[in-house]
Every structure is written in C-alpha cells, then in structure tokens.
Amino acid sequence: MNTDEFRRHAHAVVDWMADYLDRVEQYPVKAQVRPGEIAARLPPAPPEMGEPVEAILRDFERDLMPGVTHWQHPAFFAYFPANNSPPSILAEMLTAALGLQCMLWQTSPAAAELEGRVLDWLRRMLGLPDGFTGVIQDSASSATLCSILTARERATGWRANEHGLAAVAAETGPMTVYCSAETHSSVEKAVKIAGLGRASLRKIPVDATFAMRPDTLAAAVEADIAAGRKPVCVVATLGTTGASGIDRLRPIGEICRRHGIWLHVDAAWAGAALILPEQRGMLDGIEYADSFVMNPHKWLLTNFDCSAHYVRDPEALIRTLAILPEYLKTPERGQVDDYRDWGIPLGRRFRALKLWFVIRTYGVAALQEMVRKHIALARDAASWIEAETDFELLAPSVLALFCFRYRPRGIDDEQRLDRLNEALLLKLNEGGRAYFTQTRVSGKYAIRFSIGQRTTERRHVEAAWAEIRETARGLER
Ligand code: PLP
C-alpha cells in the first residue's frame, strides 16, 4: 500500500469511524452470536496473495461486526465502562502512525516527557498529594503487580530478586498480602505471579458498606506476625468491582504504618470520580499510601489501554524492575526517566498522547460534568428501583454503580430468586437493547447497573429501566 492508497483508505476508514460513533446505538449492545459462529466465517488458511482493502473492509463489516459487543453504546451498563472519545481516537491514530517504542527516554524524548507532565496534570486533577510520581501502565492489573513486587522487594531488602523467594523466606518467614473479600481478582493474580502463593493472600471480611474491616485486618496482621510470617502489602480498594465498596484508607494506613507494610490503593474505576472535589473524602488517609492506581481507560474518555500508576518512591519501583543490558545503555541514563524500568514489558506504546488530547480537548470542567452526570443518573435509577415493590436494591448507589434484583411477591426462596434473576439477565442481554452483568452481594445473585458511557443520557437509563421491568414481569416463574 503506497501513501496515496493509504490516504484514500484512511479517509474512508475515518468516515466509517465517525458514522460508527453516530450510529452505535443502532446495534445490539452485546454481540448476538454463538460460540464459534465468527470463526466459522473466517478462512482456515491465510491468503497467498494480497487482497484489496475494500474486500477486507467489506468482510470486517459483514463477518466481524456481528461479533462485536459495543462498549461505546450508551446502553452499555455491564462491568465497568471503558469509554473512549473522538479526541482519544485521533491520538490513537497518531500513535499508530508514529509507531514509537517508548521504552527509553532516547527512543522518544517527547513521549517520555509528555508522560511525566500529563500524569502530573492528572495527579492534580485527582487531588493526589505532591510526592506521588506517575507512570502509565497497560492495565491496573500490571500496576498492582508492580506494586506487590516492589513491596516484596522492599520487605526483603531487594534480596528476593537476587536470591529467589526460597532463599529469603528462610530469613523473613512466609510473606503475606492482605485485601478485602471484595477486592478485584487482579490482586490474587499478582500474588500468584509474584511467587508468594495464593495461600499467602488474606481476604479480610467487609462491613455492611462492602468496605474492608480495619479491626479484622489488624488482627490478621498481628496473628501472622505472631506466627513468624512477614506481612508485606495491603491492597485497599476505592470502588470495588462487585458493589463499589470504598475501603477507608486512614485506619488501614495506620495499621500499615505501624507494621511497616506497603499500602497499595486500587482505585481502577472509582479514581476517575476524584476529579470531583466533592468525592475526595475517599482520599482521607492517602498520605499512608505507597502506591495508587486508577484507569483513565475506564471512566475518563481515554481509549483502552491507559492505567495511571502513582508511586511515592519511584526509586523502589525502578530498583525492583530495572535491567541494564549493554544494548539498552544510553548517555542520558540517570538524568531522564527511562520508563522501561518502571513496568514489566520493555516495549511501551505512546499512551500519554491520548490522555493529553483528552484533557486538552475537554478540559477538567467537561470531564467533571460527565462524571457528575453519571453519578446523578445512577442515584436516580437506584431510587426508581427502590420505589418498586417487586424489585430490591442489594447494594446502594455509590458513585455510578448499584446492584439490584427482581423479587416478586411470594418468592422468598433464595435459590429460586437467584435462578429468576439469572434468567432475567440472560433475557435482557439477549434482547440487545441494554447490557448488564452480574455479581453476588452477600451471597445473593445481583444484577449490576453501572453507568459510564460518554453518550449515555437520561433517556437511555429510563429505557433500560422500562426494559428491566417489562422483561422481569414477563418471566415465567
Ligand atoms: N481493580 C478494579 C477495582 C477493577 O474493577 C478492575 C477491572 O474492572 C481492575 C482492577 C483491573 O483493571 P485492568 O483491566 O486495567 O487490569
């Protein structure tokens, strides 16, 4: 493809993209295909000879689009949002055209210096204190893994990396990590990858607001120390995935400080709400945190992937992850940020560009307006549900998430209610007009209602609620 052809196709693709954003609402939100249906449309072998782009685009539309779940649909209420925006997409196009590898300052000084600056902008927007330095990771899962690895290294005087866990465990005792029973599964994954073993993860029970119980955390830490184990990290969550529990950083942080334990804060989703001054109560006690992660790729209009990872002591992170083969040495080392030492992969995309485009295009005020609108919509939707006698709120609206179930009069058997709500979720998602996912709240099957798409308006939420009512009341019991 020469550049003239590229230009022609690029114009057509941009037109397609703009049309898609305009008409995304016309698609079923969740892909309406069965497993294997898309693969069956694809030839088993690659083409021997190149094909025209027109043919590829035709097949994209015909064979792939039916298997797309539309995350940018205004009636996407599943999981957490991964919203994007036109400026973010423009920046992704430029990123693709530049094709940079941002592993070292030298491999693109603009990328490294923009990353530092834009993450400091974001730090100010979130109300995080001075003294936190940011880096962009691909995901909150990676940021949490890097934090747990750093906590492990700090706790072992950086000897686990050198000698292996078996050698240091003889001196330190088995290392333990703490989170709440509601914490995201990425913490368990990180503990496994860090070689600490799943059995070393203590899942502390939560209170009625789904927040970690600090008294139980303190008791668990003390019991582990008394048994000769070494607590290395506590992960506190702002906005748990199931029902938006907000762990209280101050009492948790005091426990960490008392015992020299690393405190990592996972605010992957809820962190975006910190751009609202009225939500910053969640940060009370942040001075105890060693690291913090939030995802602009969830609720801040920035295309996946872009995870903002802040650390109090970048040297500790770098010392944990740095490698220095001859081929990566540059004369500027030591004077600049070489971000390959701040995360797991060597190669890194130019992710700061899209965040820069987003923050500059919208400004803080419009981003605040969007997040505020989603929070207000969720609060209203929860109140409609609460007002119906045959529905039940299982978790109240916190930020832009709540959980509910259908509970018609006369059915009290929990298993029957679980089955009924499973059937309701399936039917809603098959209908294609809105998309929801489930969780368990205190053991009960619950449907999550999570609001966060850029184009979601009140009418979408009202229509979804009408659909829920109608579908539920039409279910066979
Ligand atoms: N932490 C929380 C609280 C989450 O809700 C999620 C994902 O939804 C994650 C971590 C993982 O995020 P990522 O996909 O960026 O790894």
Q: Does residue 240 contact residue 270 with C-beta atoms inside 8 Å?
A: no
- Mean pLDDT within 168-193: 95
pLDDT for the residue numbered 319: 95
Give the ligand 1 atom nearest the CA of 183. 3
- How far apart are the CA of 266 and the centre of ligand 1, in A? 8
- How far apart are the CA of 472 and the centre of ligand 1, in A? 30
pLDDT for the residue numbered 95: 98
CA distance to 160, 319, 322, 323, 344, per residue, from 106 (Å):
30, 20, 16, 16, 19
pLDDT at 477 > cutoff 80? no
Candidate of 241, 247, 437 to mutate for ligand 1, largest count of ligand atoms within 8 Å of Cβ: 241
User: What does 127-187 look like in DSSP terms, one character per residue?
Assistant: TPPTT-EEEEES-HHHHHHHHHHHHHHHHTTT-HHHH-HHHHHHHH-SEEEEEETTS-HHH
- Distance (Å, whole) CA 415 – CA 275: 41
Candidate of 137, 292, 295 to mutate for ligand 1, largest count of ligand atoms within 8 Å of Cβ: 295
CA distance to 32, 242, 256, 377, 387, per residue, from 399 (Å):
30, 13, 27, 10, 20
Place of tokens 């909150």: 140
Higher-scoring residue by pLDDT: 449, 328: 449
pLDDT for the residue numbered 326: 85
pLDDT in tens, 383-417: 999 999 999 999 999 999 999 999 999 999 999 99
Element (H, E) at 121: helix 109-126
pLDDT in tens, 283-337: 999 999 999 999 999 999 999 999 999 999 999 999 999 988 888 888 888 899 9
- How far apart are the CA of 449 and the centre of ligand 1, in A? 17
- Distance (Å, whole) CA 340 – CA 321: 8
> Which residues lie with the beta carbon below 6 Å from any ligand 1 atom?
80, 139-141, 184, 186, 237, 239-241, 266, 268-269, 295, 307
- List the structure tokens of 340: 């390959």
Q: What is the percent of the chain with per-residue pLDDT over 90, rounded to a whole number?
A: 95
Q: Does residue 31 contact residue 68 with C-beta atoms inside 8 Å?
A: yes
Q: Does residue 336 contact residue 314 with C-beta atoms inside 8 Å?
A: no
Upstream peptide bond of 207 is cis (omega within 30 degrees of 0): no
Of 164-178, 262-276, 422-436, 442-456, give the lowest mean pLDDT range: 164-178
Question: Which residues on neighbouring strands pair with residue 235, listed in sequence order?
Answer: 264
- For domain 100-349, the question of CATH label 3.40.640.10 is answered with yes
Angle, in degrees to the nearest 10, between helices 414-431 and 458-473: 130
- Mean pLDDT within 193-201: 96
- How far apart are the CA of 274 and the centre of ligand 1, in A? 17
Nearest residue (by CA) to ligand 1, atom 14, is: 139
Nearest residue (by CA) to ligand 1, atom 12, is: 140
- How far apart are the CA of 48 and the centre of ligand 1, in A? 41
- How far apart are the CA of 168 and the centre of ligand 1, in A? 31
pLDDT for the residue numbered 327: 82
pLDDT in tens, 113-149: 999 999 999 999 999 999 999 999 999 999 999 999 9
Question: Which residues on neighbouring strands pair with residue 291, listed in sequence order?
Answer: 264, 311
CA distance to 105, 247, 362, 408, 444, per residue, from 243 (Å):
41, 12, 29, 22, 12
Binned at pLDDT 50, 70 and 90, residue 345 comes out as very high
- Distance (Å, whole) CA 106 – CA 331: 9
What lies within 8 Å, CB to CB, of 428 at 6+ separation is 434, 435, 436, 467, 468, 471
- Distance (Å, whole) CA 176 – CA 169: 11
- Distance (Å, whole) CA 249 – CA 289: 8
Give the chain's mean pLDDT. Answer: 96
Give the ligand 1 atom nearest the CA of 270. 3
- Distance (Å, whole) CA 448 – CA 446: 6
- Distance (Å, whole) CA 319 – CA 371: 37
Place of tokens 């970048």: 314
Q: What is the percent of the chain with per-residue pLDDT over 70, rounded to a whole number?
A: 100
What lies within 8 Å, CB to CB, of 97 at 6+ separation is none
DSSP symbol at 61: I
- Mean pLDDT within 411-427: 96
pLDDT in tens, 146-174: 999 999 999 999 999 999 998 998 888 99
User: What residues does each domain of the chain span?
Assistant: 1-44+58-84+364-477, 100-349
pLDDT for the residue numbered 385: 95
pLDDT for the residue numbered 328: 85
Nearest residue (by CA) to ligand 1, atom 5, is: 241
- How far apart are the CA of 464 and the centre of ligand 1, in A? 25
pLDDT at 58 > cutoff 80? yes
Write down how long the chain is.
477
Q: Choose which CATH entry (3.40.190.10, 3.30.360.10, 3.90.1150.170, 3.40.1530.20) describes domain 1-44+58-84+364-477.
A: 3.90.1150.170
pLDDT in tens, 347-377: 999 999 999 999 999 999 999 999 999 999 9
pLDDT in tens, 65-116: 999 999 999 999 999 999 999 999 999 999 999 999 999 999 999 999 999 9
